[in-house]
Amino acid sequence: MTEKKEKKIRGTVVVTVERCKGCGFCVEFCPTDALKLSEQYNAKGYHPPVLTAQELCSGCDMCGLLCPDFAIYGTRLKARA
């Protein structure tokens, strides 16, 4: 009997920092808690989100679906061979 290795879906997010108004929806509703608001400011004076736990991100795009300013989106990474 061989053990099946569970495939973990991996993802990442892309943030357009200057488009963000720091509402925090992406951070609040991230199902894997992979995001947090940055301590840095963008040009408008808001704290944009940052991906703090790449290994937790599934690329589900919940952040992008909830962003009112289209400043972030999630994407799944291709599996390594």
Looking at 3.40.50.2300, 3.90.780.10, 3.40.50.11540, 3.30.70.20, the CATH number of the domain 11-76 comes to 3.30.70.20
**Domain segments of the chain as ranges:** 11-76
Which residues is 51 bridged to in the sheet? 35
Regions of the chain where pLDDT drops below 50:
none
pLDDT of residue 1: 55
Calpha distance 79→81 (Å, rounded): 6
Calpha distance 81→77 (Å, rounded): 12
